[in-house]
Amino acid sequence: MPPSIPSTRGSRVWLLLSACLPFGFEAAAPKPGHDWPAYLGEGAAHYSAAQQITTANVAQLTTAWVFRTGDTTPGVRSEIPCNPLIVDGVLYGTTSQLALFALDAATGRELWRFTPDRGNRGGPGGLARGLALWREGAERRLLFTAGPTLHAIDPATGKLIPTFGEQGRVDLRDDLDHDARGLYLAANAPGAIYRDLIILGMRVGEGPAAAAPGHIRAYDVRTGKRRWIFHTIPHPGEFGYETWSPDSWKTVGGANCWAGLVVDPERGLAFVPTGSAAFDFWGGDRLGDNLFANCLIALDAATGKRKWHFQFVHHDLWDYDLPAPPVLCEVTRAGKKIAAVAQVTKTGQVWVFDRETGESLFPWREEPVPPSLLNGEVAAKTQPIPAKPAPFARQRFTEDEVTNRTPAAREAVLRQLRDATPHQLYDPPSERGTVILPGFHGGAEWGGPAVDPRGVLYVNSSEMPWLLQMVPAAVLGADAKTLYTQLCASCHGANREGNAVASIPSLTTIAARLQPEEIGERLRTAKGMMPSFNFLPAASRDALVRFLISPETAAANESREVIPATAPAEGTKLASPYVTTGYNRFVDPDGYPALRPPWGTLNAIDLNTGDYLWKRPLGESPELTAPGESPTGTENYGGPVVTDGGVLFIAATKDEKFRAFSAATGEILWETRLPAAGYATPATYEVGGRQFVVIACGGGKLGTKSGDSYVAFALPPGVH
């Protein structure tokens, strides 16, 4: 960011918003495009009717204001994936430390800040990708999650509303129809509002240990009481129960909606995308197709009753969660407008359904896929494949797709590829090693697609293969190194070095950061995305602490003393006889993706016909590109926004750029460098006759630096 850009970091004074805005009075309805009142826009469509910024003038955008949250810690990796709300001239957003704030949307001046209760263990874990606003007459409240807690906040003051739940809070670990004590649970994406309800999904554990089920719940926005629940892992007597092993509803977790959902208020339908069941990569304890994992579920928003569903992956073994909320749109068939809902997938597919009936608007087929060779596993025999649109991400990793960046890089990748199972989509996990492409993060990811009133869908895609290898797990009474391999290595790596690209910390220096009793408490109670390991016997937890502090010392001690092979806590277990060697990107010796570019793309697809209008690389590795060559593209996180001015805005890329494209042609019209990468979906709005575009610049992923800024852009005064 040029040094001449002013910073407008607000004061910490808690100002009464009612002193400067007409809260408490019925405001006139804003013109379309003035506000951004819902997460990812109305209908999660990432669309605004704003027209002031056009393809003709977008190149003149300048920085309007910069707001710094001020709560990041130097040297500690953090992210701000928030898509903020903007209503009546006020912007509501979140920080990397899960504080909620309000800004004057025209200037970036801070109006108030709410910091969730941090308790005794450093505060809530997880992320906050947005929040929800409920309005009825003069009543308004913000519904905001931090970790496992749902808060109701007065938007005029930033104070908790004490009549909601327990003094303004609801603990999402309660009222789950399952004992979630000691299990990881958080809500990264905001809920969706329907009348006087907020409908909410969750993030839960995905590993081989016990995990909470991902049931969908609706809460009364005034009282915080649960009004209904939908069991995504059906209980006996419920639809879909027969698609699981008989006791799965008691023991299996996951099948959760972590990505967020969308409500059609006219039809009273909530469209809920779900993820895989736990454990992600072995399902011998959940044999069957596993409804309602990996489904788009249309629920009656008032009651939670199922109207229809479609399952995209049967018996998921690849962590192929539905990664983003579906988008509400209209498509034209035979001259007739159809209210549709479109869902993108990690596998690079776009599915389009009639909202009312669930009928697919394009043909599809069940295609045979390979069986599993792991003990106790029974993979699904077929998987659904749409005939149209064509996938927006590569589906196979053949030798033709291997990088040609240098001869040495190509040869190194070829050796690894030949050692793994020959790749095709839905190859099951194996002990030999399986290539996952599209990768664990897509294809499409949580940023999601945009769609405009013409029925054109715009979606960004990552092109990164991953390597998955399964290894037999040991019993709970094994040595500490085996426990580490079984429980921790899949995230932190076999050598405890973490993964900076995936924002997973190294454990090699944990002894310098935490005392032994603090490490033990963290194992027992969980922290951030790390689940609780309270199911381990105390002797095993103590041994694991010793191993984390000093593997060499722990190994020497265990040569003299064997850990007692005691049983886990009642009601908990390791579900899988296998664990993974970690989430490993398939890269060449220099750290670049193992396949040839582009490594990230932006795609425009006409949902009326299923045809592509254009496809462009998204992002750049400038050190690899000679003048005149096509950009490499980069892995990307965060979605686009499209406007009635014909402009598509997106950040998302590793190169820390923010770009504007022509929605009609895909031509780049403007770009600027951000203070940190914008791994978030932007928002656009109008205040005082001026259109702004704002992006959270939190960085922190893909090995890039972390940041603490929101940056807003607008045309210079007088330019139209």
Q: What is the CATH number for 488? A: 1.10.760.10
Which pLDDT does position 483 carry in this prediction? 75
Beta bridge partners of 102: 92, 112
DSSP string, 412-451: HHHHHHHHSBPP-TTPPP-SS-EEESSBTTBSS-TT--EE
Q: What is the DSSP letter of 675?
A: S
Which pLDDT tens digit goes with each residue over 581-631? 878 899 999 999 999 999 999 999 999 999 999 999 999 999 998 877 889
558 with 482, same domain: the answer is: yes
Domain with 530 in it: 474-573
149 with 27, same domain: the answer is: yes
Q: Which residue has the tokens 């990796």?
A: 77
Determine what percent of the chain falls in helix, strand and coil, rounding each to the nearest 5: 10, 30, 60
558 with 703, same domain: the answer is: no
Which pLDDT does position 501 carry in this prediction? 55
Positive or negative torsion for Cα 79, 84, 90, 94: negative
From 541, 573, 605, the end of a domain falls on 573
From 546, 573, 600, the end of a domain falls on 573
Phi, psi of 535, deg, nearest 5: -70, -15
44 with 127, same domain: the answer is: yes
619 located within any domain = no
Contacts of 29 (CB under 8 A, 6+ apart): none
Percentage of the chain lying above the pLDDT 70 cut = 88
Report whether pLDDT(7) > 50. Answer: no
9 with 89, same domain: the answer is: yes
557 with 665, same domain: the answer is: no
Report whether pLDDT(197) > 50. Answer: yes
555 with 699, same domain: the answer is: no
What 3-state class would DSSP assign to 565? coil
30 located within any domain = yes
9 with 126, same domain: the answer is: yes
What 3-state class would DSSP assign to 649? strand
Count up the domains in the chain and report the number: 2
Question: 345, 444 in Cβ contact below 8 A?
Answer: yes
Q: Which residue has the tokens 């200037």?
A: 107
pLDDT band at 557 (very low <50, low <70, confident <90, very high): low
Average pLDDT for residues 555-570, to the nearest whole number?
Answer: 45
Burial 649-685 (b: 16+ CB within 10 A, else e): bbbbbbbbbbbbbbbeebeebbebebbbbbbbbbbbb
563 with 658, same domain: the answer is: no
* Amino acid identity at 563: I
3 with 91, same domain: the answer is: yes
Which pLDDT tens digit goes with each residue over 320-372? 999 999 999 999 999 999 999 999 999 999 999 999 999 999 999 999 999 99
Contacts of 249 (CB under 8 A, 6+ apart): 213, 231, 233, 234, 235, 236, 241
548 with 656, same domain: the answer is: no
538's enclosing H/E stretch is helix 538-549
* Amino acid identity at 669: L
pTM metric for this prediction: 0.88
From 524, 546, 573, the end of a domain falls on 573
628 located within any domain = no
527 with 675, same domain: the answer is: no
Dihedral class, residue 610 (left if φ above 0, else alpha if ψ from -120 to 50, else beta): left
Q: What is the DSSP letter of 213?
A: B
Question: 493, 485 in Cβ contact below 8 A?
Answer: no
